[in-house]
Amino acid sequence: MSLLVRARRGAQHLVHVTPESAGWRHVGFDAWRLDAGDELRIDVPDDREACLVVLRGSIDFEAGSLRRENFGGRASVFAAQPPPALYAPPQTSVRVCAHDEVELALASAPATGRYPARVIEPATMARSTRGSGTNARYICDVLPQTEEAESLLVVEVRTPAAHSSSYPPHKHDADDPPNETQLEEVYYHRIDPAQGFAFQRVYTDTGDLDETMAAHNHDVVLVPRGYHPVVMPHGYNGYYLNVMAGPRREWRMRNDPAHEWMLK
């Protein structure tokens, strides 16, 4: 099975990834593109939690007793501002109405219902720069391990043109805390200008998995295990939304020893 999930670019429901379709146990991912006035209902299963991220545009939503109007407002995923998000526990029904051109992402993972639904405000999201030179990229922690959830970790990254990202290559596929934790991961790619692409490689120490892909706008790359660097070609800015989940809700990674020298 290819690790590259091509987007349905002419469809409202751009991407649909389930644990069954990905061949793993934890992470689910969906993305939609809505026009003004479009409505969407999302029913979170009784054994999963979800994080709905308003990537672009504004919505009205209802999620149990939570209601918001004009929720969102970011013009583009490439804007230097965090996105608003909604945490939804199992058995939540979310109703959405788009105010304008909207792009939504839904991350999901196993849960028992420990935490209530809540709005995740952009002002609460930590932002940082990782790396330097042509390895610099810009991070926004949408749902980090310091915030309440049972399984999900959600982060977005903007990578300038001709820069590398998730680099030096790192992995998180071994249950060996505090050195490393086992997390499945998806990369939801957006490209500016939209006709461009990103290169992503997923590979293991043994070489039993080694796949290099050209991810286009709205495509998803699955990372079941192994190292997974991203490189943007000259002239094209990159964005990706990462969703991670695994047996332990903690992000601990190990760099590829062959490339770790550049950090010293």
Phi, psi of 14 (to 5 degrees): -70, -45
Domain range for residue 163? Answer: 4-263
Residue pLDDT, tens place only, 150-200? 999 999 999 999 999 999 999 999 999 999 999 999 999 999 999 999 999
Q: Which CATH number is 182's domain given?
A: 2.60.120.10
Overall number of domains in the chain: 1
CB 229, CB 146: distance < 8 Å: no
Q: What is the pLDDT of residues 35-63, one digit of tens each?
A: 999 999 999 999 999 999 999 999 999 99
% pLDDT > 90, the chain: 97
| Token digits of residue 79 | 């804007």
Region 236-253: mean pLDDT is 98
b/e for 52-86, b at 16 or more Cβ within 10 A?
bbbbbbbbbbebeebebeebbbbeebeeeebbbbb
Q: What is the mean pLDDT of the chain?
A: 97
pLDDT of residue 264: 84
Of 22, 50, 48, 31, residue with least CA distance to 224: 22
Q: pLDDT per residue over 9-34, tens digit each? A: 889 999 999 999 999 999 999 999 99
- Beta-sheet strand order (sheet of 210-216): 164-165, 230-231, 197-203, 210-216
Task: Note the pLDDT tens digit of each residue in 70-79.
Answer: 999 999 999 9
Count Cβ atoms below 10 Å from residue 235 Cβ, excluding itself: 10
pLDDT digits (tens, 9 = 90+) for 202-214: 999 999 999 999 9
Q: pTM for the full model? A: 0.98
Q: What is the pLDDT of residue 61?
A: 98
190 forms bridges with which residues in the sheet?
239
Buried b (16+ CB within 10 A) or exposed e, 190-213: bbbeeebbbebbbbeeeeebeeeb
Share of residues in the chain with pLDDT > 70 (%): 100
pLDDT given at position 1: 64
